Amino acid sequence: MNHKIAVIPGDGIGPEIVREARKVLDAAGKKFGFTLDYTELLMGGASIDVHGIPLTDETIAAAKASEAVLMGSIGGDAKTSPWYQLPPEKRPEAGLLKIRKALNLFANVRPAYLYEELKEACPLRDEIIGDGFDMVIMRELTGGLYFGERKTIEENGVKKAIDTLSYDENEIRRIAKRGFDIAMKRKKKVTSVDKANVLDSSRLWRAVVEEVAKEYPEVTLEHMLVDNCAMQLVRDPKQFDVILTENMFGDILSDEASMVTGSIGMLSSASLNETKFGLYEPSHGSAPDIAGQDVANPIATVLSAAMMLRYSLDLDEAADAIEAAVKQVLKEGYRTGDIMSEGCKKVGTTEMGDLIAQRV
């Protein structure tokens, strides 16, 4: 079976981590009898350099014509890169937001899992870690503050900036359903995170989530205010199974959740729409400071590629094999710099990719 995959290497460490993920995917293809036909697309700074804008209509069309998109990372150093001299809507990040919206990728799934082998890298105390934790953040990705009306004006000589946070009940309902669906396949607990003590959008969020919960009697629903959630993630991360939340809260909480696992370099993500189509990218950014040095950790991208096989291509066995290969490599003591601890063997980006590919 041949599958059509769009690949967006992007900026910074993007091209090198995507190269390793492809290596691993191809190894899985050989073993499980499928091939992937890749079309490379430009987005972010790489697209600005060629087309002057971070995402072209042709790129959107090519992405739509594929079964899934595998992405590295986009963006550069905001202080030094010329991309950040451009107006906000022409900067690399605008390309990412535009493709999320254009492909209707409203459901962003970000697993945060503590690998037994990486306990050393976890900044929390042993008694908090216990026997580890395993949660998924279900972040709404095409609404809220990111896509509300935005402007900067001047009133009586005073500059004023306005961002708008709005959600309609349908947007809330569809992401809530996704959250409950995932919970049904896990520990059957949803923590819906909002700021209902202050925001109208959060009060509507809470009411709609309650309604959706009635269709899932087996799932335990709990509501948590976002400030409390930020605290609970470091106080007792074991309590979480699925965290369901709006766009901005999910952006912040997913970085925090990834840090408690020890390395943001380990965390994959999937952005999904109503169909099987999805965009798969690591949860981390483009790390321009270490780009091209063969030191970046490719594991988050490799695991995102595994999610792609599972969710978009129904190649569960191959996805399992990739995840097992990652665990195996960690068990054997191989580490990139970000997850290095005493007594382990330090390897670079390419070697890490080779090691995982060999073990698939």
> Binds 171, which of ligand IPM, Mg ion, none (CB < 5 to 8 A, cut-off by type)?
none
Q: Which residue is nearest to ligand IPM (CB)?
A: 93
Angle in degrees, CA 288, 360, 299, rounded to 5: 20
In the complex with Mg ion, the residue whose CB is nearer, 16 or 251, is: 251
Note the residues at the interface with Mg ion (CB under 5 A). Answer: 251
Shortest spacing between CB 154 and ligand IPM, in angstroms: 26
User: What beta strand segments (E) does 164-290 contain?
Assistant: 189-194, 220-225, 242-245, 268-272, 278-282
Q: How would you class 331 by CB atoms within 10 Å of its CB: exposed for 0-12, middle for 13-18, buried for 19 or more?
A: exposed
- DSSP annotation of 44: T
Among 11, 16, 20, 93, binds ligand IPM (CB under 6 A): 93
Shortest spacing between CB 304 and ligand IPM, in angstroms: 12
In the complex with ligand IPM, the residue whose CB is nearer, 93 or 171, is: 93
In whole angstroms, give the CA distance from residue 255 to residue 238: 17
In whole angstroms, give the CA distance from residue 165 to residue 200: 9
192 forms beta bridges with 223, 244
In the complex with Mg ion, the residue whose CB is nearer, 251 or 281, is: 251
Shortest spacing between CB 109 and Mg ion, in angstroms: 14
In whole angstroms, give the CA distance from residue 10 to residue 311: 22
What x/- string results for residues 174 through 203 when contact with ligand IPM is judged by CB under 6 A?
Answer: ------------------------------
In whole angstroms, give the CA distance from residue 159 to residue 154: 4
How far does Cα 210 stand from its chain's mean position?
26
Task: State both tokens at 16.
Answer: 């090198």
Q: Does 96 bind ligand IPM (CB under 6 A)?
A: yes
The count of residues in the chain is 360
Q: Does 246 bind ligand IPM (CB under 6 A)?
A: no
Task: State both tokens at 105.
Answer: 């990728």
> Binds 93, which of ligand IPM, Mg ion, none (CB < 5 to 8 A, cut-off by type)?
ligand IPM
> Binds 140, which of Mg ion, ligand IPM, none (CB < 5 to 8 A, cut-off by type)?
none
In whole angstroms, give the CA distance from residue 160 to residue 138: 33
What x/- string results for residues 39 through 78 when contact with ligand IPM is judged by CB under 6 A?
Answer: ------------------------------------x---
CB 333 within 8 A of CB 339: no
In the complex with Mg ion, the residue whose CB is nearer, 226 or 357, is: 226
Helix or strand holding residue 8 (H, E): strand 2-10
6 forms beta bridges with 39, 69
Please give the residues from 251 up to 280 whose contact with ligand IPM meets the rule CB under 6 A.
Answer: 251
* Backbone Cα Rg of the chain: 20
Shortest spacing between CB 255 and ligand IPM, in angstroms: 7
Shortest spacing between CB 354 and ligand IPM, in angstroms: 28
In the complex with ligand IPM, the residue whose CB is nearer, 246 or 251, is: 251
Shortest spacing between CB 82 and ligand IPM, in angstroms: 18
Q: Which residues are catalytic?
A: 146, 195, 227, 251, 255
In the complex with ligand IPM, the residue whose CB is nearer, 97 or 128, is: 97
Q: Residues in the site for ligand IPM, rule: CB under 6 A?
A: 75, 93, 96, 251
